[in-house]
Amino acid sequence: GNSVTQMEGPVTLSEEAFLTINCTYTATGYPSLFWYVQYPGEGLQLLLKATKADDKGSNKGFEATYRKETTSFHLEKGSVQVSDSAVYFCARTGSGGGADGLTFGKGTHLIIQP
């Protein structure tokens, strides 16, 4: 079946450090890929998405590129801030199209220290 695997947390970085959170997905069908973020005390928010191979999603300085050859969608940011501290979820749609329910990874808790 469909699944998403992302790196375990927590990930602790200093402010202005480079961030990478790894995400890989099972290679079934032609899913759309997403990163959602959950700030403390808030609901899930879409951070970025990519709908086909080689697409790059970007938002708020974060980027992720849909790599079909490695079935990956790693999240990167060049210089993190304390306000980026949150839980990040990688997700994919099913094989049937973008309206399918999402399959999420377990989440990565990111902690940025000043």
Partner 1 sequence: EAGVAQSPRYKIIEKRQSVAFWCNPISGHATLYWYQQILGQGPKLLIQFQNNGVVDDSQLPKDRFSAERLKGVDSTLKIQPAKLEDSAVYLCASSLYSGGGLSTDTQYFGPGTRLTVL
Residue 114 Cβ vs partner 1, minimum distance, rounded to whole Å:
26
- Give the Cα separation of 12 and 83 in Å (integer): 13
For residues 37 and 89, is the Cβ–Cβ distance under 8 A? Answer: yes
Closer CB to partner 1, 51 or 85, in the complex:
51
**Window 33-92: residues binding partner 1 (CB under 8 A):** 36, 42-46, 49, 51, 89, 91
Q: Classify 82 as helix, strand or coil.
A: helix
Residue 90 Cβ vs partner 1, minimum distance, rounded to whole Å:
8
Which positions ≥6 away from 41 have C-beta within 8 Å?
none
Q: Residue numbers of the site for partner 1 (CB under 8 A)?
A: 4, 32, 36, 42-46, 49, 51, 89, 91, 93, 97-107
